[in-house]
Amino acid sequence: MTILIKHANEVITLKSNAKGPRTREKMREIAVIENGSVLIEEDRIIAVGAFEQLAVDFPDLVKKADTIDASGKIVMPGLVDCHTHLVHGGTREQEFNMRLNGSTYMEIMNAGGGIHATTKRTRETSFEDLYAKSMQHLDVFLKHGVTTVEAKSGYGLDWETEKKQLEVAKKLQATHDVDVVSTFMGAHAVPRDYKGREDVFVDIVIHDMLPKVAELHLAEFNDVFCEKGVFTPAQSQRILEAGKALGLTPKIHADEIEPYKGAELAAKVGAISAEHLLVASDEGIQRMAEAGTIAVLLPGTAFFLRAPFARGRLMIDKGVPVAISTDFNPGSSPTLSLPFIMNLACMHMGMTLEEVLTATTINAAYALNRGEQIGSLEAEKQADVVILDVANYKQLQYFYGMNHTNTVIKNGRIVVRDGILLN
Ligand SMILES: N=CN[C@@H](CCC(=O)O)C(=O)O
Ligand SMILES: [Zn+2]
């Protein structure tokens, strides 16, 4: 199939000569083409530019293309949601109510709720039901312009259920239009029956689960919740190094609730990203900048937990590449709206409109090791493209709390038209 998107008010290309994730002022260079067009053939972008130029350079393709008139609209790369807990059983609205009445996230978790509650529900839920539920979630992501999603396990905390979650993610990747990238997170919490024997559980993750994840090719990344009362920096380091030796790239939930030198650890182990970072130290931010560790910031979690927001502005100014994600999960961020999260990043983390676009496209793609394939509109890249019903990119955050997605093209195929999901 050949598609020509014609005469968009703005095409936000995110094209750059810079290699790797964008930092500092490069995060504000989003390379806008006014009155721009995009030519797509099969699953690839052929060219981006003025229609007149494309007609000269690719006359045959332009002639045979199905044309989409994007005048009055903007075009940008499909959004990349690089941190989610997509596959899980149940919901936790009763805990939300408890928090509104004064309980804290960690109190609820230590009393057997939180991650433990979802672990129980995920263990009880069948593969088929987890798959069906996650398919629906991916549909909603797609309708919001998200074309790639990371999915973490970590609501099993036993091999049987971790494997079930990872296999659901694998089937989602094979069957849903959204690309699903898998992360193993067996060290998401210490199971209740290992209380006081935390190192025994760490050994199970290292010696039992991780080798099976690698052998069965069930994940690309290995993540750990490094937090006071969950896994210590030393335990986290052991788990991440063990994964690395098996070919799994480290990620880390770091400095979310209490400062715990998680950012420093991320830099030390060469993690591709450190995620959350609400209370990351100055030293940790400096180390991340030096190591090139991507900060995956999750403002929805700060919003929903009524916690302080991560210091996104400072991180960018210090040279840390920043990505933004929903953290979709049933406890601390039950939203599938990445556009809303982008707005929070502007309003509460001091990020600019341009930085937020970079953080949810090219930098998020790099946080999933896919920066060379997706995240910008450039010749040869995968044709993941979104058309939005706004006159310019500044309106995306100005008209906040709304879904402006009009059309989504995934791998060169139109999958959402006029906001409606096509089958
Ligand atoms: N903080 C740890 N993990 C998830 C929350 C999991 C849950 O509460 O179910 C997060 O990234 O926010
Ligand atoms: Zn998370």
pLDDT single digits (tens) 14-60: 999 999 999 999 999 999 999 999 999 999 999 999 999 999 999 99
> Parallel, antiparallel, or unpaired for β 66-69 and 74-77?
unpaired
Considering every ligand atom shown, identify the ligand nearest to the alpha carbon of residue 302 and give its number: 1
Residues 6+ apart with CB under 8 A from 266: 250, 252, 254, 273, 274, 284, 287, 288, 291, 293
Is the Cβ atom of 312 under 6 angstroms away from ligand 1? no
Across 357-368, average pLDDT: 99
Stated as kind and residue range, the H or E segment containing 414 is strand 413-417
pLDDT at 423: 78
How far is the C-alpha of 80 from the C-alpha of 367, rounded, in Å? Answer: 10
DSSP one-letter string for 310-341 = P-HHHHHHTT--EEE----BTTTB----HHHH
188 annotated binding-site participant:
yes
Tell how far the Cα of 225 is from the centroid of ligand 1, in angstroms.
Answer: 8
Ligand 1 center to residue 50 CA distance, Å? 45
Tell whether ipTM is more than 0.90.
yes
Mean pLDDT for all residues in the chain: 98
pLDDT beyond 90 at 334: yes
DSSP code of residue 189: S
Which H or E run contains 107? Answer: helix 105-110
Ligand 2 midpoint to CA 403 (Å): 23
> Which of 250, 246, 243 shows the shortest CA–CA distance to 291?
250
Q: Which atom of ligand 1 is nearest to the CA of 256?
A: 1
Q: Tell me, what's the pLDDT at 297?
A: 99
pLDDT in tens, 153-210: 999 999 999 999 999 999 999 999 999 999 999 999 999 999 999 999 999 999 999 9
Which atom of ligand 1 is nearest the CA belonging to 227? Answer: 1
- Would the pTM count as exceeding 0.80? yes
pLDDT above 90 (res 346): yes
Helices 262-269, 233-245: crossing angle, 10 deg rounding = 20
Ligand 2 centre to CA of 275 (Å) is 7
Residue 273's pLDDT is what? 99
Q: Please count the other Cβ atoms lying within 10 Å of the Cβ belonging to residue 353.
A: 18
DSSP lists the bridge partners of residue 66 as 3
Terminal-to-terminal C-alpha distance of the chain? 17
């209370």: which residue's tokens? 279
* Ligand 1 site-directed mutation target among 153, 188, 236, most atoms within 8 Å of CB: 188
DSSP lists the bridge partners of residue 351 as none
What is the maximum alpha-carbon separation in the chain? 70
- pLDDT of 309 higher than 90: yes
Given the CA of residue 257, which atom of ligand 1 is nearest to it? Answer: 1
Going from the Cα of 137 to the center of ligand 1, the distance in angstroms, rounded, reads 17
The predicted pLDDT at position 211 comes to: 98
Give the mean model confidence (pLDDT) for residues 368-391: 98
Burial class (CB in 10 A: 0-12, 13-18, 19+), 402: middle
Closest ligand by atom to 90 CA = 1
Strand partners, 385: 77, 409
Q: Which of 92, 324, 329, 333 to mutate to test the pocket of ligand 1 (most atoms within 8 A of CB)?
A: 329
119 in contact with ligand 1, CB cutoff 6 A: no
pLDDT tens profile 90-126: 999 999 999 999 999 999 999 999 999 999 999 999 9
Average pLDDT over residues 260-284: 98
Mean pLDDT over 367-379 rounds to 98
pLDDT number for residue 62: 98
Q: What is the dihedral of CA 194, 198, 204, 207, to 10 degrees?
A: -170
The answer, yes or no, to whether residue 398 has pLDDT greater than 90, is yes
Q: Which among 314, 327, 310, 308 is positioned nearest to 86, based on CA atoms?
A: 327
Dist. CA 154 → ligand 2 center (Å): 9
193 is in an annotated binding site: no
Distance CA 36, CA 12 (A): 9
Q: What is the pLDDT of residue 342?
A: 98
Distance (Å, rounded) from C-alpha 261 to C-alpha 283?
9
